[in-house]
Homo-oligomer: A and B are copies of this chain.
Amino acid sequence: MPENEQSDDLHAMRHSLAHVLAQAVMKLWPDTKVTIGPPIDYGCYYDFLFKEPISDADFGKIEKEMKKIIHQGQTFRCDKLSPKDAKKYWKDLKQPFKVELIEDLEKNEGVKSVTHYANVGPKGEDTFVDLCRGGHLESTKEIPVDGFKIMNLAGAYWRGDEKREQLTRIYVAAFPSKEELAIYITQQEEAKKRDHRKLGKELDLFTFSDQIGPGLPLWTPRGTIITDAIEDLVKEKEAEGGYKRVHTPHIAKGSLYAQTGHLAHYKGSMFPPMKLDDGEEEYYLKPMNCPHHHQLFASRQRSYRDLPLRLAEYGHCYRYEDSGALFGLMRVRSLTMNDAHIYLTEEQFEEEFSAVIHLYLEYFRIFGIDKYNMRLSLHDPKELGKKYVDNSKLWLKTEEMVRGVMKKLGVSFKEVPNEAAFYGPKIDVEVWSAIGREFTLATNQVDFDVPGKVGLKYTDKDGTEKVPLCIHRAPLGTHERTVGFLIEHFAGHFPLWMAPSQIAVLPVADAHEAYGSEVAMELLKRGMRIEYMNATESLGKRIREGEQWRIPYLLVLGDREQQDNAVSVRNVRSKNQVTLPLQEFIQRTCEDIAERRLHPSIG
């Protein structure tokens, strides 16, 4: 669930609405067992055990009942019960889940009393009671009656335990106004259309194979054009930034990851080892590239003159995510990371860390990402020696270094405790796609711990040996998540420089094939990626096909175009069509590609 930034009022409204939902359901199906129902970032849900399954067809009925309750202006009354009385109350009502919850509260928290909230109807009668910690509106009347909508049903196990009862979860969207609800619903519909799993299949960008395994995407030829285009961009920007490219293997001995601390702090996310039977050590798939880059640093004598040393690699890492947690390209087991490690002195920190933040902003500009949010993830003193390396002084020092740079840069950020990497603080960047979906994309981390642990050192000006700091950075995260995000962000309408097919050539009829070939050859000579769609199918059908494949430009070539050495350009995204001389089209398109412009400039 993303960060919840809703106000207290909104939270109370959504929480109150969950009570209203439960009350409505109990009125309609009195045999139902109730469980729990919290507010969420777009409304609320409630989990029920129904005697007979319900369906989407019942939503209208439930909403009608909910509106009735809202109109009644029911109030909320708090009752304190002893656990004993509370259990008796729910046992009498044949509500075993509530009894179980109270038993757990006794056992785990040793509570002496539990609060219940009763809805009080217009005649002063109790209409519905729930076990609850509170936080409601004064009256159900304050719930905007046209600001909510039942969205969908989902299965959910009681307490998330697959060995327990399977419940029905009812999701409700709830907003302060009808208009805000409408915006949310439109976004959801658009998001469904843009779902990267759906578009990825339609546009043949990537695939999964049951035989290879879940969470292991295969990039098709069209998808590889996109990842290669991103990689070319990155190589260019990193070359400008003084990075040096390297390549490292995908496995290493367990002893390496023991030394770096990955086995101590990160083993749960790693694939199990490969055990060689000749007495050689166990080998692991690398979960991160840093231990490998550290070995490259260590492969030669280093002096202060070599620093900062910026080693970059689109490195493939493997992380063992639970199969249930896998989600399209967003959560996978094989990750192609836009990785680099910058080895540097403390004096170089500000400049290097700032350069990384600037690189983020440059990428955001190129991809048209207007909304982003930087989070400074800090350690938690309680987890020192467990989740985090045990050096309070260095934690505070490096956190202050990062805070200082961010303030100096004037980039706004918020601080989040207990989210750091095990070896140091980091800046994570959340971005929002064109339709407002949120993704955590980039990361920029300081490491004050591992370089020393693995014995990295350089000779300083004064001849002494020192341990370098290390910045771990991945402005474009992984290919998997970046492409997943961009598919949804662009709704499959990639900028020309990334588009798998940039231009389709459509001669209107057989008579225009010769001119069509001529145009095609001209474009191919400039290295453009074209589809040639000859006139065996109707023009309308071919245009629809070009649109389905989200080819940015369709060139329609008929008598007039042939005569004038021109092209009629249909911009698939805007659906505008303009006619212009072939040479002008070529020149402007070459520029759009070379400049990596966000939108094709014609039509």
Contacts and interface: CB of A to CB of B under 8 A. Distances in A.
Contact of A277 (B211, B272, B275): B272
A158 interface: no
Contacts of A432: none
Given A213-B281, A276-B272, A295-B218, A316 B250 contact: yes
Contact of A221 (B246, B251, B280): B246
A596 to B, nearest CB: 18
Nearest to A207: B299
Nearest to A204: B300
B316 A220 contact: no
A257 to B, nearest CB: 10
A549 interface: no
A274 B285 contact: yes
A224 B278 CA distance: 32
Nearest to A282: B272
A112 interface: no
Contacts of A320: 276
A256 B208 CA distance: 13
B252 A211 contact: yes
* Size bracket, chain A contacts: 35 or more
A213 B246 CA distance: 18
A228 interface: yes
Interface in A228-259: 228, 244-253, 255-256, 259
A271 B253 CA distance: 13
Given A212-B292, A272-B274, A251 B220 contact: no
A323 interface: yes
Interface string A205-223: 0010101110011111101
A218 to B, nearest CB: 5
Contacts of A221: 244-246, 311
A299 B207 CA distance: 7
A318 B286 CA distance: 14
Contacts of A300: 204
Contacts of A248: 212, 218-219
A183 interface: no
Contacts of A316: 249-250, 316
B211 A253 contact: yes
Interface string A152-191: 0000000000000000000000000000000000000000
Nearest to A257: B211
A283 interface: yes
Given A213-B281, A247-B227, A249-B218, A275 B272 contact: yes
Contact of A220 (B217, B219, B250, B299): B299
A197 to B, nearest CB: 14
B218 A247 contact: yes
Given A252-B212, A274-B274, A219 B207 contact: no
A334 interface: yes
Nearest to A260: B211
Interface in A296-314: 296, 298-300, 311
A35 to B, nearest CB: 27
A285 B334 CA distance: 12
Given A220-B296, A224-B246, 10 more contacts: A207-B295, A209-B295, A211-B253, A212-B295, A220-B246, A223-B247, A225-B245, A247-B336, A272-B274, A274-B285
